[in-house]
Structure 1
Amino acid sequence: MTLDMLTAKNELRDLIDAYASLGDEKKIADVMGLFTPDATYTVYINGTMVASTSGTKTLEEEFSGHAAQVNAYFTLNGQHTVHVDSDTATGVSFTQIKMIRPSEGADILTDYSVRYDDEYVRLNGRWLIKERTGHFIIVEARPLTN
């Protein structure tokens, strides 16, 4: 493995970690800076497509609407496998996401086990997400007990 390949893999890991961290902080405009302007984002829950969005303008509207309904996020990234081919790459990453939402006077904790299938491009020396498909494999919701 070359130094360029190791550098690209490290930069791509930083990209998905930035996506998680900025999302947790609800810095949606900053999250949009991680995507190409024409990016697509598709979501599957239990194998059924539930959403598909294109373009950062629409993505920002949808992400902002979702974030407005959430009191807190906590995201933990796991393994991340990438295949780099010059200025493009594909990757698979695994993530645990916890969300706390208010519902009927109670806080509801939802746990998501997610596999992301990504396509990346390097533009002007910077890696961006071109296409992200989230497979929400396990979804569990329960009242939060402190």
Structure 2
Amino acid sequence: MTLEILKTKEDLRNLIDAYAYLGDDKKISEVMQLFIKDAVYKVFMNGVEVANTKGTDVLEKEFTGHASLVKTYFTLNGQHTVKIDGDTASGVSFSQIKMIREHEGADTITDYSVKYEDQYILENGKWLIKERVGFFIIIEARSLKN
């Protein structure tokens, strides 16, 4: 493994970690800077496609709307495997995402176990997300007792 490949793997890992950090902080406009302008973002829950968005303008509106309903996000990233092919790469990563929302006056926490399949592209010396497909495999919601 060359130093260039190791550097690229680190850059790609930093990209998905930045997505989690910025998303947790609801810095949606900064999250959009991690995508190419005409990026594709899809979500599957229980095997059913529930979102299919193209372009950061639309994606930013959708993320902002979603974030307005969530009091707190907390994301833990796990495994991240990539295949690099010049200025493009593909990757698979796993995340645990917790979201706290208010429901009928009480806080509810939803735990999501997510597998992401990504396509990346190197633009102007920076790796960006070209396509992100999230497979929400396990979803559990419960009342949060503070």
Residue 34 (structure 1) shift: 0.1
One-letter code aligned to 2:112:
Y
Aligned to 1:98: 98
> What does 1:30-109 align with in structure 2 at a 5 Å threshold?
30-109=30-109
Q: Which runs of 5+ in 2 are unaligned?
A: none
The whole-number CA distance in structure 1 between the counterparts of 2:82 and 2:46 is 24
> What does 1:125-144 align with in structure 2 at a 5 Å threshold?
125-144=125-144
**Cα-to-partner distance string for 1:105-140 (whole Å, 9 max, x where unaligned):** 000000000000000000000000000000000000
The whole-number CA distance in structure 2 between the counterparts of 1:145 and 1:105 is 12
The whole-number CA distance in structure 1 between the counterparts of 2:27 and 2:116 is 20
Residue 145 (structure 1) shift: 1.1
TM-score scaled to structure 1, two decimals?
0.99
The whole-number CA distance in structure 2 between the counterparts of 1:47 and 1:4 is 37
One-letter code aligned to 2:58:
T
What is the percent sequence identity of the aligned residues? 65
Q: Which runs of 5+ in 1 are unaligned?
A: none
The whole-number CA distance in structure 1 between the counterparts of 2:79 and 2:6 is 16
Residue 82 (structure 1) shift: 0.2
The whole-number CA distance in structure 2 between the counterparts of 1:134 and 1:21 is 17
The whole-number CA distance in structure 2 between the counterparts of 1:10 and 1:51 is 29
Q: Tell me the matched-pair count.
A: 146
